[in-house]
Structure 1
Amino acid sequence: MSSQVGAINSVNALISRVFVQPKGDLADRLNSRITVVILAVSSGLLLSSHFIGDPITCWTPAQFTKQWADFVNQYCFVHGTYFVPLDEQLSFDEGERRKDTIQYYQWVPYVFALQAFLFYIPRFVWKALISYSGYDLAAAVKYVDRFWSSIRDQDSTFKSRLAVFEGRPSVYIWDGIRLARKKRSKNMALFYTLSTVWQAINAWIQFYILTKLLDSPLYSAWGPSILGDLIQGNDWQTTGHFPRVVHCDFNTRRPASVQLDTVLCVLTLNIYYEKLFIFLWFWLVFVAIVSTINSMRWIYHLCNTSKAQKTIRNYLATAPVKSPISDEQFFDALGPDGLFIMDQMALNLGDIPASYLTISMRNICQDFIEVSDDYIDDERAPFVKTIKQK
């Protein structure tokens, strides 16, 4: 009981941690947010059903006392059951009857909890790698997001908002880029690309785990097959998938004898498992395909920055005043990692705040162009220069 309650608390902690992360791109949201929440909530609800209510109810002989009946329920739940259509005769061979034992229902909540953690691990590793690079991208996204939330409802002109952005968020981003370069940060885009590749591989592995959990002897692609059976009216009584009524064998010991008894059991959980597993089968296929396409896209962007530059050019084109800094000079000042940071800002914040941030950063770009190695080595230089301007 205490271990199950502890598992539920861990699931709740994971959910709360997930929602404070930056949104990321579509594949990142599908993997590290939506899928984690779906699996964690499913795990918590199903795990609670194991000790609240009766996950399995067996029809025991009349001579069994309540203690015996409770024991049989617990034994059959832990030991496993098997399915034989009610219109077929049970084989006298115990091994024949139990060749396809149903045991997945004991492990489903724990497998879902494990999968939720595995889907979150690429995001965790990405955060560790970006911290190693010297730039706290998550904190930067949150900072700009909070700043934008504080001023977006104010009655201000475009130029006045740009001036406000120039005073705080733009300085913050430039200072972060320069301090990260002091640590020789050059691999943020590479780290993110590796995390997307990991997400794609992990999604396909999780899909394989889900498929092997049921290990259907009839279907290789059991998701569409079971859905097709349901549409055609072939329910569990015919196919044996997610059966509601199963059999269970157990031994009763008496002095000088051991008697094998067989009881019928009702697996209420399979009513929910059937719908949940069909949904997850299609969902994980969708997530795996999107993650694979996304990883290929980021691999291409790692080798070719033209898309990120095009996005930033579109933002710069909305500037009310022509800047003395050309687009090429701005891209050179940003560098590959700065370009990646601006791309992430656009992904997480949206076009409007990203355009304000991009234009304001170009407006003050000249003040932050590094002119000498001595200036780069001075950690306080960006902050001192900002103070003098004020």
Structure 2
Amino acid sequence: MTTEFLKTLKPFIQLEKIQTDNNVFKLHYKATVILLLGFSFLLTGKQYFGDPMDCDVDERKEVIDTYCWIYGTFTLKSSLKDPHIPGLGHAAEYDSTTINRHNYYQWVGIVFFIQGIIFYIPRYLWKTWESGRLKFLVNGLESSEESSEESPPPAPTFFQNWKDGTKSRLVTYLLQGQNNMHNIYTMRYSCCEVLNFINVIGQICFMDWFVTGKFSMYGIAYTTYRLYKEVNPMDEVFPKITKCVYYRIGMSGTQEVRDALCILPLNILNQNFFLILWYWFYILLLISLLAVVVYLLRAQTRSLDKKKSRIVIENITYGDFFILYKIGKNVNPILYKELVEALYEQIIGKEPFYKNIPQSTLIDA
């Protein structure tokens, strides 16, 4: 079973040769999906932690275990601060004012799996919309991790192919008036980035609803508990020992109410899984918000003349700029520098563009 699970994670672990998105995007469809599927695998792997619930009863144990697992258990609010038996004890009556009901733990493994699928949806949409366009544009020009401005130039045949026509074809492609197509390409990517951001917000809200309003402040409540010794949110949301009320017919034919103490070993995992997800979702929310900020061309052209870069940016559409930025993320830095300079030369040589550029800027450049 472990081997089969690792095979399912292979597409998320392996590195891609052509980078069509950014590292923040990868945190959504790689890191988060692996995290959620891993948690789901551990919770549903019965061979690791045995039965999900084990109740202390004298008779019909399997039936009562199943009954309490299906209909849920509860803990007492009045004894949550008890360091020995948090949430246990006796109460005059069991209602919403005196108890916390726990009837969601049986769905946690399934929910994690579904969440993993939802986090992958923006990636699936982008792969469908992108359709290998960037791979076609930079085929044979990919940069390696070792490439840098100080590194030796590419092999002669590689560099000659670039000189013989690849550079001119890219320049023509970027300036031949496909602005609307490039803008649509960019809007689709931006849509996926926004979906990632909205998805994180939605997942936080859903988790809060799922655990009856205890998730949105779960991490803060845990930190406060550690500092001030208040109610442990882990025992409040995911108790390891709970109470279950079931009914039976006594010897006299009357209905009897019985209590059972039930041990939930999986909540040892749930306590920590939800704490990890709380921190991860809020970190992901923050960096996803930052990711929707427009990327600057200068981030990829630090070694280029700034005025030349500005002229290129001012005379191409945002869609063209986005395509150019993505090319810069994938090609050898030396070749990318030449590409931007070739675009500059082509732009100032064209009458429509030339009129829009101040003469003083051209002289200084």
Whether the TM-score (by the shorter chain) exceeds 0.5 is yes
| Residues matched between the structures, number | 332
In structure 1, the partner of 2:350 is none
In structure 2, give the amino acid aligned to 1:73.
Answer: D
In structure 1, the partner of 2:261 is 264
CA contact (8 A) 2:242 2:262 kept: yes
CA contact (8 A) 2:246 2:258 kept: yes
Deviation at 1:224, TM superposition (A): 0.7
In structure 2, give the amino acid aligned to 1:224.
Answer: I
Q: Secondary structure at the match of 2:302?
A: helix
Q: What does 1:1-390 correspond to in 2, within 5 Å?
A: 13=8, 16-17=11-12, 19=14, 22=19, 24-49=21-46, 53-61=50-58, 64=59, 68-84=60-76, 85=79, 86=85, 89-91=89-91, 93-95=93-95, 100-131=100-131, 136-137=133-134, 139-140=135-136, 143=139, 147-149=142-144, 157=153, 160=156, 162-163=159-160, 165-166=162-163, 170=167, 181=178, 184-216=181-213, 221-234=217-230, 236=232, 240-253=236-249, 256-295=253-292, 297-298=293-294, 307-308=296-297, 310-311=298-299, 313-316=301-304, 336-346=318-328, 348-349=329-330, 353-361=331-339
Unaligned runs of 5+ in 1: 302-306, 319-325, 370-390
CA contact (8 A) 2:244 2:262 kept: yes
Deviation at 1:179, TM superposition (A): 10
Q: Secondary structure at the match of 1:243?
A: coil
Q: Deviations over 1:239-295 (max 9, x none)?
A: 634211101122335795543321101111222221221221121111112112222
CA contact (8 A) 2:12 2:30 kept: no
Check 1:251–1:39 CA distance in 2 against 1; reply closer, same or farther (3 A cut).
same
Aligned-pair RMSD on alpha carbons? Answer: 4.4
CA contact (8 A) 1:333 1:365 kept: no
| Separation of aligned partners in 2, 1:180 and 1:20 | 34
In structure 1, the partner of 2:355 is none
Check 1:49–1:150 CA distance in 2 against 1; reply closer, same or farther (3 A cut).
same
Check 1:270–1:315 CA distance in 2 against 1; reply closer, same or farther (3 A cut).
same
Query: TM-score by structure 1 length?
Result: 0.67
Deviation at 1:113, TM superposition (A): 1.6
Deviation at 1:168, TM superposition (A): 8.5
In structure 2, give the amino acid aligned to 1:194.
Answer: C
Deviation at 1:100, TM superposition (A): 2.6
CA contact (8 A) 1:248 1:265 kept: yes
Deviation at 1:150, TM superposition (A): 11
Percent identity, please.
Answer: 18
In structure 2, give the amino acid aligned to 1:24.
Answer: D
| Separation of aligned partners in 1, 2:98 and 2:168 | 69
| Separation of aligned partners in 1, 2:145 and 2:332 | 15
Q: Deviations over 1:187-245 (max 9, x none)?
A: 2222222222222111111111122222257x962321123213444464996342111
Check 1:97–1:317 CA distance in 2 against 1; reply closer, same or farther (3 A cut).
closer
Q: Deviations over 1:79-129 (max 9, x none)?
A: 211013448642354546985310221111122122212222122222333
CA contact (8 A) 1:244 1:266 kept: yes
Q: Secondary structure at the match of 1:16?
A: helix
Deviation at 1:186, TM superposition (A): 3.0
CA contact (8 A) 1:242 1:274 kept: yes
CA contact (8 A) 1:31 1:120 kept: yes
In structure 2, give the amino acid aligned to 1:260.
Answer: V
| Separation of aligned partners in 1, 2:233 and 2:239 | 7
* Richer in helix (by share): 1
Q: Secondary structure at the match of 2:41?
A: helix
